[in-house]
Amino acid sequence: MLARSCLRSTRTLNGLRNGANNVTKRAASTSSGAANEAVPTRLNVAAAASTTLALGSMAWYYHLYGPVAFASTPAEEGLHPTKYPWVHEQWFKTYDHQALRRGFQVYQEVCASCHSLERIPYRSLVGSILTVDEAKELAEANEYPGEPNEQGDIEMRPGKLADYLPSPYKNEEAARFANNGALPPDLSLIVKARHGGCNYIFSLLTGYPEEAPAGTVVAPGMNFNPYFPGTGIAMARVLYDDLVEYEDETPASTSQMAKDVVEFLNWAAEPEMDDRKKMGMKVLVVTASLWAMSVWVKRYKWAWLKSRKLAYDPPAESKVRH
């Protein structure tokens, strides 16, 4: 289309050059006199050549960079998790804090023996998961190094709200030693640190099949999990039905515990989410109000202009010429 209209306009220009009289005739008919025959042909060749060059370069580019090389097999890539309808991922929903409370219980009773959560202080649990008294009690159950005494020795003191949750191992080496060389990662930011986030971790925790599919070779000490890239994970299945007893009497099925602990881990990685959404809503409310105001102000300011009436009031006929 573009090419055609370009061609036509150049032809018109040609016509202009040859004499304005012929313009309409030239533009209307393609075969116009043997003398001018060569010109459209040459133009057609140029257009065809440039188009071929353009298409050819695209094809060449696609040939070089188009196909993406997948160096890994599907097993190495891992099964991509299904998307679950997490309520807290909706725009105007908060975390379910009852679920957070259950999830924290699951973390404490199941995961805390292997995984640290070292970026979470007790104080941040207050108000969102525990009451002050519960958090204080929990903190006091652990010992932390205090101030040096008069001899310069550091004594242990009971924990305070400002302390961070204790880690199960002293250091990475100890953690690896206890887990056959595998390092259980810190879970504070794990939801943000893995592709698929909540869906991935939920699928990982609930996705251990009863037996690995036929023909798979699972390395000694490893467990088959389709969602873990490579499918061999050092963490065995940890969640089993009725492993914990919830205080709110929710049936503690494997998937219920996984859902709760994942929501809790999402909170751990993103404790500001509830406030962020509240702020977002404030922004929407304020901008909506400002917009409404600006519309009213505009109407007010334009009122005189829009409602004016122009009338031509001709002067009375007079014999005098001005």
- Amino acid (1-letter code) at residue 156: M
Between strands 232-233 and 223-224, the pairing is antiparallel
| Binding test (CB under 6 A) with ligand HEC, winner from 117, 201, 268, 269 | 201
Does the protein bind ligand HEC through residue 110 (CB under 6 A)? yes
Residues near other proteins, by CB under 8 A: 73-75, 79-85, 89-93, 98-99, 203, 206-207, 209, 213-217, 226, 231, 241-242, 250-256, 259
- 23-42 per-residue burial string, b: 16 or more CB within 10 A, e: under 16: beebeeeeebeeeeeeebee
Q: Interface with ligand HEC by CB under 6 A: which range of 16-24, 234-242, 244-252, 273-281?
A: 234-242
Question: In the set 235, 244, 268, 269, which binds ligand HEC (CB under 6 A)?
Answer: 235
- The distance between the two most distant Cα atoms of the chain, rounded to a whole number of Å, is 121
Binding-site partner at residue 226 among ligand HEC, other proteins, none, CB < 5 to 8 Å by type: other proteins
* Element at 232 (helix H, strand E): strand 232-233
CB of 295 to other proteins, least distance (A): 20
> What residues contact residue 82 under an 8 Å CB cut-off, 6+ apart?
199, 203
Distance CA 136, CA 180 (A): 35
182 part of the interface to ligand HEC, by CB under 6 A: yes
Angle at 134 between CA 131 and CA 137, to 5 degrees: 145
**Amino acid at residue number 65:** Y
Stretch that binds ligand HEC, among 109-117, 140-148, 288-296, 310-318 (CB under 6 A): 109-117
Q: C-beta of 120: minimal distance to other proteins in Å? A: 24
Residues β-bridged to residue 145: 156
**Which residues face 224 on adjacent strands?**
232
188 phi and psi, to 5 degrees? -55, -40
Q: Which does 129 bind (CB under 5 to 8 A by kind): ligand HEC, other proteins, none?
A: none
In angstroms, what is the minimal distance from the CB of 212 to ligand HEC? 15
Min dist CB 253 to other proteins, Å, is 4
Residue 235 near which of other proteins, ligand HEC, none (CB within 5-8 Å, type-dependent): ligand HEC
Cα–Cα distance, 86 to 79 (Å, whole number): 20
CB-side neighbour CA atoms (13 Å) of 258: 20
Selection from ligand HEC, other proteins, none that 99 binds (CB < 5 to 8 A by kind) is other proteins
Interacting partner of 57 out of other proteins, ligand HEC, none (Cβ under 5 to 8 A depending on kind): none
Using CB under 6 A, which of the segments 26-34, 88-96, 139-147, 183-191 binds ligand HEC?
A: 183-191
Tokens of 171: 């250091």
Rank residues 32 and 199 by Cβ distance to ligand HEC and give the closer one.
199
The site partner of 234 among ligand HEC, other proteins, none (C-beta below 5 to 8 Å per kind) is ligand HEC
Separation of alpha carbons 208 and 225, rounded Å:
5
Look at residue 255 and give the partner it binds from other proteins, ligand HEC, none, a contact being a CB closer than 5 to 8 Å depending on partner kind: other proteins
CA–CA gap between residue 184 and residue 111 (Å, rounded): 10
190 vs 258 by CB, closer to other proteins:
258
- Name the minimum Å distance from CB 112 to ligand HEC: 8
Cβ atoms < 10 Å from Cβ of 192:
12
Name residue, tokens 């010429």: 321
CB 201 within 8 A of CB 194: yes
Residues that bind ligand HEC (CB under 6 A): 106, 110-111, 113-115, 179, 182, 184-185, 190, 194, 201, 205, 228, 233-235, 238-239, 261
